[in-house]
């Protein structure tokens, strides 16, 4: 199962098809750190407004255009997700050749490039902030020209 995708199609998410932004999915809701048995660390996620359970779960992924704002409407982050797997990484146990990012005492999968892991995690752990994820569908032909970014890999 790919946690970076909604677990089933969601009729309440909007898909914009305009001349300048074709095939753009937009998800809005509360942001939070998602975890469950088997995730082996926190995933940065959004629970869509009006969509309960896994059907409304959308995990942030590489290349998503994300806006996070406080309950008062102040923009706390606005930009393209660039996952950093190195900053804040420590061995999971003594002698382990692998390392994992930590933030606020939690194992996490990644932090946003250019952010201290603890600062990034605070946006989600407080569970009071809201966000919008704009995700280009893989078939969008001109994502790179619109954003200057490489489109995210195809997600199945």
pLDDT (tens digit, 9 = 90+) per residue, 14-40? 544 445 545 889 999 999 999 999 888
Which tokens sit at 120? 């990034």
Which residues have a Cβ under 8 Å from the Cβ of 34 and sit 6 or more positions away? 3, 42, 43, 44, 45, 57, 59
Q: What is the three-class DSSP state of 107?
A: strand
What pLDDT score does 42 carry? Answer: 95
Domain limits of the chain? 23-143
d(CA 50, CA 28): 10
What pLDDT score does 137 carry? Answer: 75
Query: What's this model's pTM, rounded to 2 decimal places?
Result: 0.73
Which tokens sit at 94? 């003594």
Q: Name which of 1, 6, 52 is nearest 26 in CA terms.
A: 6
């Amino acid at each position: 199962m790919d946690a970076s995708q909604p677990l089933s199609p969601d009729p309440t998410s909007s898909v914009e098809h305009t001349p300048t932004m074709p095939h753009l999915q937009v998800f809005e809701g509360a942001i939070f750190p998602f975890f469950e048995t088997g995730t082996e660390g926190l995933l940065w996620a959004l629970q869509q407004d009006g969509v309960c359970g896994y059907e409304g779960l959308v995990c942030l992924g590489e290349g998503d255009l994300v806006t996070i704002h406080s309950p008062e409407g102040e923009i706390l982050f606005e930009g393209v997700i660039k996952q950093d797997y190195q900053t804040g990484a420590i061995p999971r146990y003594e002698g382990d050749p692998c390392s994992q990012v930590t933030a606020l005492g939690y194992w996490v999968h990644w932090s946003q490039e250019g952010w201290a892991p603890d600062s990034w995690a605070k946006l989600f752990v407080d569970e009071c902030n809201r966000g919008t994820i704009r995700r280009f569908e893989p078939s969008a032909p001109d994502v790179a020209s619109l954003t200057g970014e490489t489109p995210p890999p195809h997600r199945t």
